[in-house]
Amino acid sequence: MSNIILNFSPSGTYQFRINTGLSPRVQHSEEEFSRVLHEVEARSMPIYKAIVESIVAHARGDLQACLLHTRRIAEGLRPVLSAYYDRVHDKTIARNVWLSHVQGFFAWGMGKEDVGTGEWIKFDGLSGNQVMLFQAVDAFLGLGLYLSEETRHGNVPRRQREFCDAVAKASFRRLLGDDDVEGKIREEMGEIVKRMRVFRSAHRSRAKEYLLVPAPERLPMTAGKSLLKADMEQSMEFLDSFMVERLRQTV
């Protein structure tokens, strides 16, 4: 994930390209896909700040401030998620080139040799579920992890893991009552849940549109060891069950 986020200059120029020399449609799709992940992270900074401020305010017993910061999280999700809604469609990221020319490069993860056994340990590679925003918001809501520890350690930077773990430990949603200011904070938490559910439902539909495009040469490269099936329809069964389960847990 860091490779994509850091592949933009301070002025927002996309720097190192994968598909140099291929058609403008392929190159444009590559850049726009990268911009989705970059913009989601860039726009999420106020949300991370509000998460910390909400937790601190609650710990201090300042419920009015906690309400204000929690409301900012709910309100802030709209412009952040619009980076996804506005770009992930065929006119911007072409479905007929994404799987074959764009996602494969990022889906490959490097590995490392286990010093003790000499075994080569493979990493799954980049996947949108590694975006810090979703991990941080889920932690704030007290929803628990959806990535395995192996995937987290192989693909998520240590500081990001530590931040999300700290947020999860300090999550106070389960402590809130239903009356007065606590009730209002709970309502704002409910708004956050609603927006995350809408996003996860939309992402499930759009992901299918992209992943079901025929690209047989890509089967061994699709992100996630469990996706290495005989064909993409079988692979989608695993991915869809993962997305459905996380949608079910987002309450």
Handedness of CA 117, 119, 120, 125 (dihedral sign): negative
pLDDT of 230 over the 60 cut: no
Average pLDDT over residues 78-84: 92
pLDDT of 250 over the 90 cut: no
* Structural domains of the chain ordered from first start: 2-249 (1.20.58.480)
Q: How confident is the model at residue 131 (pLDDT cuts 50, 70, 90)?
A: confident
In angstroms, the Cα distances linking 66 to 63, 88, 186, 243 are 5, 34, 11, 31
Average pLDDT over residues 114-138: 79
Distance, in Å, from the CA atom of 87 to the CA atom of 198, rounded to the nearest integer, reads 16
Name the strand (E) or helix (H) holding 111. strand 111-113
Q: Poorest-confidence range of 5-14, 26-35, 99-108? A: 99-108
Distance, in Å, from the CA atom of 33 to the CA atom of 136, rounded to the nearest integer, reads 22
Distance, in Å, from the CA atom of 34 to the CA atom of 116, rounded to the nearest integer, reads 37
Task: Give the length of the chain.
Answer: 251
Residues of each annotated binding site for heme b: 203
Q: Write phi, then psi, for 120 (nearest 5 degrees).
A: -85, 120
pLDDT of 45 over the 70 cut: yes
pLDDT of 30 over the 90 cut: yes
3-state secondary structure of 120: strand
Determine the pLDDT at residue 162: 95
Q: Poorest-confidence range of 120-124, 186-190, 247-251? A: 120-124
Paired tokens of 15: 């720097």
pLDDT of 167 over the 90 cut: yes
pLDDT of 123 over the 70 cut: no
Q: Poorest-confidence range of 58-72, 82-96, 184-198, 220-234? A: 220-234
Residues of each annotated binding site: 203
Paired tokens of 101: 């020319």
Distance, in Å, from the CA atom of 74 to the CA atom of 191, rounded to the nearest integer, reads 6
Paired tokens of 227: 């996706």
Determine the pLDDT at residue 104: 73
Distance, in Å, from the CA atom of 43 to the CA atom of 5, rounded to the nearest integer, reads 12
Instruction: Concatenate the DSSP letters of all residues of 44-83 into one string.
Output: THHHHHHHHHHHHHHHTT-HHHHHHHHHHHHHHHHHHHHH
Paired tokens of 200: 């996860």
Distance, in Å, from the CA atom of 152 to the CA atom of 204, rounded to the nearest integer, reads 22
Instruction: Concatenate the DSSP letters of all residues of 122-160 into one string.
Output: EP----GGG-HHHHHHHHHHT----S-HHHHHHHS-HHH
3-state secondary structure of 230: coil
In 3D space, the residue among 194, 204, 172, 184 whose CA is nearest the CA of residue 250 turns out to be: 194
In angstroms, the Cα distances linking 233 to 211, 221, 230, 237 are 9, 15, 9, 7
Enter the pTM of the model: 0.83
